[in-house]
């Protein structure tokens, strides 16, 4: 008998199933088939906060902020708040010295409520309503990233000099990601096209607005982009545009924001994003292009969201039933597309891990489905789960920190799950579970 077989818990950890790029850094094996997050058994979270439940490991989030700052010490790192926004998370982001990208008055309200410094906020969005623009101006956000000619006019009349502005450019670069989140390619709703000359023209329109001060250009080629070459190409094109602006308008813009979009692995074997390699290649491209156009180096900004929070998150579910179809085994849980619409929106794939007791080592392929009234409501396809999995068992899905809480809905009048943060063995409720009273509160009868 091996040592691993003699000591079951040790056996699991020797087999080492908790991949660090996918699970929070503090995840470990506990006793009797439990898992630990920040030293706390996941079964305890499930008992205390119920299921489904989003867990978020504070130290993983903070470590990712530090990784970015140390890989790119001279670059402004602006966390993309859309990926996961709550006051608690924004406090960590502020404390770690990052800036913040928001894209609505609502996101700004969260930032404002904790006093996130306006000097470190950028305001985005292809549609900014008058309320959005007024909220941005009212809080004094440092930069507004303009996205249409109408917006330039509206902002020009609402703002007081000097309102700093970046222009969002569509550089015509394919990020090779899902088409719903590929924003760098031509002929779409975001930004001003570089190829058509719309970006060049937009610069003239901003310069004509006395209340606006044009400080730079912005692009964001998409999300879950793993090819560094796509970021390099966008960088080259954007610096080419900076050079063209010098010729056409005689201006040298001091800032260049290259957006976010850095991919994360969701399942074992998915490609990882080499942050150091990206940093190195990005800075080389900027230095090379600027020196060939004889441009001064701009102040750079990048806007990672997913890469900061995704692997800090784990969602806990309870199995409600196991059903055998003609060719598939369905494991139905107490959540679904209302807490994670990513599989149905983008065909996203996840891994799933049962915890909380000793399971049979024999597994079978299963489809983990949700509770919603759609056949497409599934959380994970073709995952190996124990043959003795049954009603009442617990499942953990890793890498759910980004675009889960923020994309969640009340479909079928299901309350959204709580968000619980973990640090040094302490759990803290960041966002409470939505109740029936919450669900009824807006319905005036």
Ligand X SMILES: Cc1ncc(COP(=O)(O)O)c(C=O)c1O
Ligand Y SMILES: N[C@@H](CCCC[NH3+])C(=O)O
By CB under 6 A, residue 237 contacts ligand Y: no
Return the structure tokens found at 249.
């308008």
* Whole-number Å distance between alpha carbons of 180 and 214: 30
Residue 342's binding partner among ligand X, ligand Y, none (Cβ under 5 to 8 angstroms by kind) is ligand Y
Q: Does 262 bind ligand X (CB under 6 A)?
A: yes
Q: Is 120 known to sit in a ligand binding site?
A: no
Helix pair 275-293, 58-71: axis angle to 10 deg: 30
Q: Which of 189, 200, 211 minimizes the C-alpha distance to 137?
A: 211
Residue 225: DSSP 8-state: B
Mark whether 373 is an active-site residue. yes
CA dist., res. 71 & res. 305, Å (int): 16
In the chain, how long is the greatest CA-to-CA distance? 80
Question: Is 305 annotated in some ligand binding site?
Answer: yes
420 binds, among ligand Y, ligand X, none (CB under 5 to 8 A by kind): none
Per-residue contact string for residues 203-222; x = within reach of ligand X by CB under 6 A: -----------------x--
In the range 405-444, which residues lie near ligand Y by CB under 6 A? 407
Closest CA to 77 of 109, 120, 21: 120
Residue 78's contacts (CB-CB under 8 Å, 6 or more residues apart) are: 98, 99, 100, 101, 120, 122, 257, 301, 302, 303
H or E element, residue 274: none
Cα–Cα distances in Å, from 268 out to 20, 350, 351, 399? 10, 9, 8, 11
Q: Which of residues 65-124 bind ligand X (CB under 6 A)?
A: 80, 83, 101, 124
| Pattern 189-228, ligand Y, x by CB under 6 A | ----------------------------------xx----
Per CB under 6 A, the list member of 181, 207, 290, 439 interacting with ligand Y is 181
Residue 262 or 371: which CB sits closer to ligand X? 262
Pick between residue 245 and residue 379 the one whose CB is nearest to ligand Y. 379
Check whether 411 is labelled as a binding-site residue: no
- Residue of 275, 271, 273, 307 whose CA lies nearest to 402: 307
Residue 36 vs 221, nearer CB to ligand X: 221
b/e map 109-140, b = 16+ CB within 10 Å:
ebbbeeebebebbbbbbeebeeebbebbbebe
Is residue 317 a known part of a binding site?
Answer: no
- Helices H, strands E: what count in the chain? 14, 21
Residues 273-332 that bind ligand X (CB under 6 A): 303-307
Choose the one of ligand X, ligand Y, none that binds residue 429, judging by a C-beta under 5 to 8 angstroms depending on kind.
Answer: none
Give the nearer residue to ligand Y in terms of CB position, either 181 or 290: 181
Residue 373: strand, helix, or coil = coil
Residues 220-239 that bind ligand X (CB under 6 A): 220, 223
- Tell me: does residue 116 bind ligand Y (CB under 6 A): no
Catalytic residue selected from 103, 373, 391, 399: 373
Catalytic residue set? 373
Q: Binding site: residue ranges?
A: 261, 303-306, 342, 346, 374, 403
Residues near ligand Y (CB under 6 A) are 82, 181, 223-224, 342, 346, 403, 407
Residues near ligand X (CB under 6 A) are 80, 83, 101, 124, 220, 223, 259-262, 303-307
């Amino acid at each position: 008998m091996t040592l691993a077989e003699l000591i079951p818990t040790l056996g699991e950890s020797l087999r080492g199933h908790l991949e660090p790029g996918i699970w929070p850094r503090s995840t470990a094996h506990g006793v009797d088939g439990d898992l630990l997050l920040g030293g706390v058994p996941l079964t305890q979270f499930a008992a205390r906060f119920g299921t489904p439940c989003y867990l978020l490991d504070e130290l993983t989030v903070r470590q990712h902020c530090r990784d970015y700052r140390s890989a790119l010490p001279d670059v402004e790192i602006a966390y993309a708040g859309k990926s996961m926004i709550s006051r608690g998370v924004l406090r960590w982001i502020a404390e770690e010295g990052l800036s913040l990208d928001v894209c609505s008055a609502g996101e700004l309200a969260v930032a404002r409520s904790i006093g996130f410094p306006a000097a470190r906020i950028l305001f985005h969005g292809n549609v900014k309503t008058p309320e959005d623009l007024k909220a941005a101006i009212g809080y004094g956000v440092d930069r507004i990233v303009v996205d249409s000619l109408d917006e330039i006019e509206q902002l020009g009349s609402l703002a007081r000099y000097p309102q700093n502005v970046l222009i969002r450019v569509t550089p015509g670069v394919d990020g090779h990601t899902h088409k719903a989140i590929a924003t760098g390619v031509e002929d779409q709703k975001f930004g001003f096209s570089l190829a058509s000359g719309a970006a060049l023209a937009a610069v003239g329109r901003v310069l004509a607005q006395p209340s606006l001060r044009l400080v730079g250009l912005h692009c964001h080629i998409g999300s879950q982009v793993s090819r560094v070459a796509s970021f390099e190409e966008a960088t080259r094109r954007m610096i080419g545009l900076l050079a063209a602006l010098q010729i056409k308008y005689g201006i040298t813009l001091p800032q260049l924001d290259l957006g976010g979009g850095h991919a994360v692995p969701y399942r074992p074997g998915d490609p990882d994003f080499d942050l150091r390699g990206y940093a190195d290649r990005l800075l080389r491209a900027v230095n090379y292009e600027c020196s060939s156009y004889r441009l001064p180096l701009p102040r750079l900004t990048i806007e990672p969201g997913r890469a900061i929070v995704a692997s800090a998150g784990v969602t806990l579910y309870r199995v409600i039933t196991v059903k055998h179809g003609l060719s598939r085994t369905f494991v139905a849980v107490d959540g679904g597309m209302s807490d994670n619409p990513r599989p149905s929106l983008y065909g996203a794939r996840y891994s799933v891990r049962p915890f909380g007791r000793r399971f049979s080592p024999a597994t079978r392929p299963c489809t983990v489905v949700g509770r919603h009234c759609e056949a497409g409501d599934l959380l994970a396809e073709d995952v190996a789960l124990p043959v003795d999995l049954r009603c009442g068992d617990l499942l953990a899905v890793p890498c759910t920190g980004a675009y889960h809480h923020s994309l969640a809905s009340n479909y079928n009048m299901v309350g959204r799950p709580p968000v619980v943060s973990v640090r040094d063995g302490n759990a803290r409720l960041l966002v409470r579970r939505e109740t029936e009273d919450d669900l009824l509160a807006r319905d005036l009868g």
